[in-house]
Amino acid sequence: MTERVVLAYSGGLDTSVCIGWIAEATGAEVVAVAVDVGQGGEDLEAIRERALACGAVEAEVADARDEFAEGHCLPAVRANALYMDRYPLVSALSRPVIVEHLVAAARRHGAGVVAHGCTGKGNDQVRFEAGIASLAPDLRCIAPVRDYAMTRDKAIAFAEEKGLPIATTRKSPYSIDQNVFGRAVETGFLEDIWNGPVEDLYEYTADPATPREADEVVITFDKGAPVAIDGRPVTVLQAIRELNERAGAQGVGRIDMVEDRLVGIKSREVYEAPGAIALITAHRELESVTVERELARFKRGVEQRWAELVYDGLWFSPLKRALDGFVNETNEHVCGDIRMTLHGGRAVVTGRRSERSLYDFDLATYDTGDTFDQSMAKGFIEIFGLSGKIAAKRDLAR
């Protein structure tokens, strides 16, 4: 029986060329698998037909938008996940759901190899291959761009020689990856980190400097999940989409940063993630009202480690699974409403309310009705500062 290779297929030049390239290099049949995580563009049927026209023996498409939103974006919101305190893991979150579909397809089609179109320079090769190794350690991975030195020039020449139904001459100055949670742009003139981003590279966000009326929004959460916007019930996917539109129209979610890649190099990236930033901002504020102080302090360290694990491609790792349990527990009481003003590139919280709130007005107020017994403070301070006081006496006596 001819060996089969399951290919993560995007419909673009590189992965279209990979179909014939793999067949010639290995003699294997190629099954193309395209996964929709809200990246937009062409419809899935057109992508499936292109894969077949490029030589795939079979082609599958999967609508994973709700799966991605519920199973990957929502955990990131609950974890307030921002890699290097800024990047909401737009690309990193989508790779595990693609991996799950690739492994399932490999099982269905009896394939022993999974292929992807990543280079040897980025993070995605690790995310794909580490994820596949965790779910199916018996499967082997190949990456034609990396393993067979499939440069863009070679890919174009191959496509023209074989008459593949794919545009081979038009090239964007940027490398772009996008899904419903956000959009990532790199390469081109952005590789000079002194160059500022130009307006035409943005699609999800409007220019925040353009004068416009502010937009006020109320987001309702239940156990850390957005369940309503302005009182209207929404799914997680619907919440992300609506906030992409509303926050994006106000220029919220633009990020220009130099990040530390897993492979050891620094890379300049421009992101736009209006829905993600709005949701994380609102969720974090609701946590400040509903999560106990020591738990909240500890969670901040967990959030950073969670984001690093996901960024590094360790979504399926034992540590990531264990931290998921902690994050879910901390979100048990994160229920209530956050009111935000979206304007001028910022999402600013202006109101909070929750039946699970730990905020006690009578304890917090300085007016009549204050129930905080201030007479206890003096003794508390004496005991709290005692160890430092003892150490200071010793040190000053030397």
- The residues annotated with a catalytic role in the active site are 14, 95, 124, 175
Q: How would you write 216-266 as a 3-class SS string? A: EEEEEEECCEEEEECCEECCHHHHHHHHHHHHHCCCCCEEEEEEECCCCCE
User: Dihedral of CA 34/40/44/46: which sign?
Assistant: negative
Please choose, from the candidates 129, 138, 57, the residue with its C-alpha nearest in 3D space to the C-alpha of residue 95.
129
Taking the C-alpha atoms of residue 132 and residue 109, their distance in angstroms, rounded to an integer, is 16
Token readout for 363 is 């304890």
Name the binding residues for L-aspartate: 119, 123-124
Quickly count: other Cβ atoms within 10 Å of residue 262's Cβ.
18
Q: Which tokens is 86 given?
A: 């800024």
**Residues making up the binding site for L-citrulline:** 87, 123, 127, 175, 259, 271
Tokens found for residue 358: 């730990």
C-alpha 383 chain-centroid distance: 45
Which residues belong to the annotated binding site? 8-16, 87, 117, 119, 123-124, 127, 175, 259, 271
